Amino acid sequence: MGDTSIIIRRARRSDVDKIVAMLADDPLGRGREQLEASLPDCYFQAFARLEADANIELMVAEENGAVVGCLQLCILPGLSSQGASRGLIEDVRVASARRGRGIGEQLVHWAVDEARARGCKLVELLTHHTRVDAQRFYERLGFSKSHVGMTIRF
């Protein structure tokens, strides 16, 4: 059950450093992110693009003024499935000291509800094949394995 002291709100520019720190707080993220005392400008440029896109919601979970979780929801219009839009959930993270307390569940429920409210016919997410605990978490929330993800990195 979710913690009632958690507020889910849109991310602000001042949250970027906390979000990047959560993204970098695991073996996969450490290899992708550039966590420095002064974040590279690329993160703030990316935030500006996200903030300007009406089909993307970058959200944070806040507890007593501290950012303790994040999630990105992308609304993807499409032609398949009779022109259905789909919600894509990405970058779900909870601060390591706050895991196991329902914050991730609250974020995911928010995203599913928002996608439904915005007319999406389904919600998808990707999780790395090594994130076994995350896969169990998403299955517990009603997601089922359905696709094989493939990637090309540049």
Query: What's the whole-number average pLDDT of the chain?
Result: 91
DSSP 28: H
Q: In what order do the strands lie in the sheet with 56-63?
A: 6-10, 56-63, 66-76, 85-94, 120-125
Question: What CATH code is assigned to 6-140?
Answer: 3.40.630.30
Instruction: Tabulate helix, strand, coil % of the chain (nearest 5).
Output: 40, 25, 35
- At 35-44, the pLDDT tens digits run 777 899 999 9
DSSP 83: H
Helix (DSSP H) and strand (DSSP E) numbers for the chain:
6, 5
Q: How far apart are CA 11 and CA 26, in angstroms?
A: 21
- At 102-111, the pLDDT tens digits run 999 999 999 9
Token pair for residue 47?
A: 């935030």
Tell me: pLDDT of 3 over 60: no
Which helix (H) or strand (E) segment holds residue 9: the answer is: strand 6-10
- At 94-137, the pLDDT tens digits run 999 999 899 999 999 999 999 999 999 999 998 888 888 899 99
Q: Please report which confidence band the pLDDT of residue 31 belongs to, taking 50, 70 and 90 as the band edges.
A: low
Per-domain residue ranges of the chain? 6-140
Q: Please report which confidence band the pLDDT of residue 4 belongs to, taking 50, 70 and 90 as the band edges.
A: low
Average pLDDT over residues 26-39: 75
